[in-house]
Amino acid sequence: MREFSLPALYEVPADGNLTDLIRRNAAQHPDVPVIARKTAAGDWADVTATAFLAEVRAAARGLIASGVQPGDRVALISRTRYEWTLFDFAVWTAGAVTVPVYETSSAEQIEWILGDSGAVAAIVETEAHEKSVESVRDRLPQLKHVWRIEAGAVETLGAAGTDVAEATVDERSAWAKADSPATIVYTSGTTGRPKGCTLTHRAFFAECGNVVERLKPLFRTGDSSILLFLPLAHVFGRLVEVAAVMAPIKLGHVSDTKNLTDELAAFRPTLLLGVPRVFEKVYNSARAKAQAGGKGKIFDKATDVAIEYSRALDSASGPALGLKFKHKVFDRLVYSKLRAVLGGRAEYSISGGAPLGERLGHFYRGIGFTVLEGYGLTESCAATAFNPWDRTKIGTVGQPLPGSTVRIADDGEVLLHGEHLFSGYWNNEAATAEAVTDGWFHTGDIGTLDEDGYITITGRKKEIIVTAGGKNVAPAVIEDRIRAHALVAECMVVGDGKPFIGALVTLDEEFLPRWAEQHGKSGRGVAELREDPELLAEVQSAVDDGNAAVSKAEAVKKFRVLATQFTEESGHVTPSLKLKRNVVLRDFADEIAAIYGG
C-alpha cells in the first residue's frame, strides 16, 4: 500500500459559504470585470464584480419571493451560458441548493433527478426543456415553479422580488454554513440510476481554493481569463466556474462549440479548460489542413521537433543548441499559428475526463501550450489530482490536491481522503457506505503512485477484462491510444473470456468525408467504407499505435468498424461521454461474435 499527501495551501472558512466570494469581489475589486457575457449582437461585454453581485441578489430576491426556502433544491437545466452562473449563485444566495441537469437529458431522466432530489423549482433554458419538465410534472408533486431563461426568467424573477428587503437577502445568503449542501450533482452512471452526489460549500472551498493557490500564476486578477465551454452540469465545469469567481479572473461562457475557434479568437483567454478529445481534434484538423495544402511533411517534421523539444525539457541538460534552432524556426512557421487557433494568449490548459496521451502531451508543451492533466470524479468535487504548472510530469495525472491524500490499496484501487470529498449520496445511505470506508472514498479506478507522488491511472476496477488465458487487461490504455487517431471517433476493447483481445471502432463523422475525398472516395458514407481495404488499413495503423503501448497478450488482434456511432441519443454513452460498456456489449453482440468467428 502506497500513500502520498501534500499540505493544504488554503484554509476553508469555518462557517462561510460560496456567496462570500461574490460579496468579497464587489468589496475588494468593484470595477474589475469578473465575467464577460455575449450581447445580442454577438460581442463580448464585461460585467464588473459590483454589477454581477447586484444581478445575483435581484434573482435571489425573486426566488425568495416565490417561496424558495433555505435548504430547498432548485434544478437548473441549461447549456453553458452566463445565466447558468448567475442563477447558480442566486440559488445559493437564497439559501437553497442547486441541482444541475444535463440539457440533453430525457424527460425520464429529468423526472428521476427532480423527483429524487425533491426539487421545488426548476430553471430551464429552452421551450423544449420546459416541455420535457411539463410532461412529467404530474409525477413531481413538490415542483412548484418552472422559469425559462429564453422567456425572460432573469427579468421575471427580478420583478417578482422587488418587495423583498435587502436585509432578508443578507440573512438568506448567510444561512448556509461550510458543511451545508451547495449542490447535488447526479453522476451519469454507466449502469443503473444516476446517484446524487452531495457536495458541500466546504468541498468547493477546499477544491477551488487549493487549485487556485497551486496554480497561482495562471489566476491573475485583472489579467487572466478563461473561456468555459464544457457543460456546467458536469462537476468539472463547476470547478472552473467557482475557481474563476474565487480568484477572481474573467469568466466567459460558450453554449455552442461549433464556432469555438471564432469564440477563442474573440475572447482570447489566457487559460483553457478542455477534455482530450478537444485537443485531439485541434491537432488532427491542423494536420489534415496542412496535408490538404501540400504542407503535410513540414507539419509532421514540426510535430517531431515539438515532441523532441518537450522531452528534452525533462532532461538534465535540456534541449541541445541545434534542437533549439529548429524549434525556433518551426515556432514561426507552425507553432504560432496553432497557438492562434487557441486564442493566441493561452499558454496553459487544464484537461480531465480521460488521458490525453504522452505523445500529444509533449506535442502541446513543445508548441508552447502546456496541457496540465488532472484526474477526479464527481465525488471528489472534480480534480483530486492535477499537474502543477511548474513541475509537469507528462503521462501522469499529477499530484494530489493540496490538503488531500491519495492511497493505492493492495489491489491497486485508488482511495481518496480530504475535505473536498462529497458528504454522501443523496437519499442513498447504502451506496454511501459501500463507497466510503473509514473516511476513505473508493474510486473504483486502478492506478499507481511514483516516488514524487505523481499518479498514473491505468483503468477501471470493474472494467478489467480477463481473457480465456487468464490475462488481466485494462482497456483504457489501448482505447485512448487508438481513439487519438483522426479517423477514429470511439473505440471499445472486448475479449472477456475470449482467446484474444478485440475492438469495436466507430469513425469520426467530421473527418471521414475529408479522408474519403483525399482517397478518391467522395460521397461514400460509413456503411460503404467500413469494409474498404484502404480505410481498414488506416484504422489498423491506429490499432498498431495502440498495441505499441501494451504487451502482446493485451494487444488488439482483430477489430470491427461499426456503421453507426456511440452517442448519448443511442444510449451508448453518458452525458459526460463515458461508454456504457454493458449496453454496447448487448447491442453489438453480433459484431463481437464476428470478431471471434462466431
Q: Which CATH number characterizes residue 541's domain?
A: 3.30.300.30
Average pLDDT, the chain: 93
- Over residues 147-164, the pLDDT tens digits come to 999 999 999 999 999 999
- Over residues 98-114, the pLDDT tens digits come to 999 999 888 998 999 99
Same domain as 495, residue 361: no
How sure is the predictor about 496, in pLDDT bands with cuts at 50, 70 and 90? confident
Q: What is the mean pLDDT of the segment spanning 572-583?
A: 83
Q: Is a pLDDT exceeding 70 seen at residue 189?
A: no
pLDDT for 188: 65
Could you tell me the CATH number of the domain that includes residue 115? 3.40.50.12780
How sure is the predictor about 281, in pLDDT bands with cuts at 50, 70 and 90? confident
Q: What is the mean pLDDT of the segment spanning 238-257?
A: 96
Structural domain boundaries enclosing 58 = 17-176+221-269
- Under a CB-based contact definition with an 8 Å cutoff, are residues 340 and 268 in contact? no
d(CA 497, CA 587): 18
Side-chain-side CA neighbours of 47 within 13 Å: the count stands at 23
Same domain as 291, residue 426: yes
Same domain as 229, residue 305: no
Q: Is a pLDDT exceeding 60 seen at residue 190?
A: no
Same domain as 130, residue 52: yes
Q: Is a pLDDT exceeding 70 seen at residue 598?
A: no
How sure is the predictor about 550, in pLDDT bands with cuts at 50, 70 and 90? confident
Same domain as 432, residue 476: no
* Residue at 182 is within a domain: no
* Residue at 133 is within a domain: yes
pLDDT for 8: 98
Q: Is a pLDDT exceeding 90 seen at residue 404?
A: yes
Strands of 250-253's sheet in order across: 44-48, 33-38, 250-253, 225-228, 271-274, 348-351, 370-377, 382-386, 399-400
pLDDT for 87: 98
Q: What is the mean pLDDT of the segment spanning 125-129?
A: 97
Same domain as 483, residue 398: no
Q: Is a pLDDT exceeding 90 seen at residue 325?
A: yes
Percentage above 90 pLDDT, the chain: 77
pLDDT for 523: 86
Place of cell 433554458: 125
Q: Is a pLDDT exceeding 60 seen at residue 191?
A: no
Q: What is the mean pLDDT of the segment spanning 230-254?
A: 96
* Residue at 212 is within a domain: no
d(CA 8, CA 206): 9
* Residue at 1 is within a domain: no
Give CA separation, 199 vs 184, 202, 470, 524, in Å: 6, 8, 40, 49
* Residue at 229 is within a domain: yes
How sure is the predictor about 298, in pLDDT bands with cuts at 50, 70 and 90? very high
Give every CB contact of residue 423 below 8 A, 6+ residues apart in sequence. 179, 181, 198, 199, 200, 203
Q: Is a pLDDT exceeding 90 seen at residue 469?
A: no
Q: Which of 30-44, 423-437, 453-467 has the lowest mean pLDDT?
A: 453-467
pLDDT for 166: 96
pLDDT for 484: 87
pLDDT for 464: 80
Same domain as 424, residue 303: yes
Q: Is a pLDDT exceeding 90 seen at residue 573?
A: no
Helix ranges, 409-456 (H): 429-435
Percentage above 70 pLDDT, the chain: 99
Place of cell 465545469: 237
* Residue at 214 is within a domain: no
Q: What is the DSSP letter of 369?
A: -
Same domain as 468, residue 454: no
* Residue at 181 is within a domain: no
Same domain as 356, residue 313: yes
pLDDT for 110: 94
Q: Which of 155-164, 214-223, 464-473, 497-506 has the lowest mean pLDDT?
A: 464-473
Q: Is a pLDDT exceeding 90 seen at residue 597?
A: no
Same domain as 354, residue 255: no
Q: Is a pLDDT exceeding 70 seen at residue 260?
A: yes
Same domain as 317, residue 244: no
d(CA 133, CA 79): 16
Provide the Cα torsion 519, 492, 257, 263; round to 10°.
-80
**Domain end (from 444, 461, 478):** 461
**Domain end (from 461, 486, 519):** 461
* Residue at 103 is within a domain: yes
pLDDT for 280: 86
**Domain end (from 445, 461, 477):** 461
Regarding pTM above 0.85, the answer is yes
Residue (of 44, 104, 54) closest to 232 by Cα position: 104
How sure is the predictor about 237, in pLDDT bands with cuts at 50, 70 and 90? very high
Same domain as 406, residue 330: yes
Domain count, the chain: 3
Q: What is the mean pLDDT of the segment spanning 525-535?
A: 91
Q: What is the mean pLDDT of the segment spanning 42-51?
A: 96
Residue (of 460, 436, 494, 463) closest to 375 by Cα position: 460
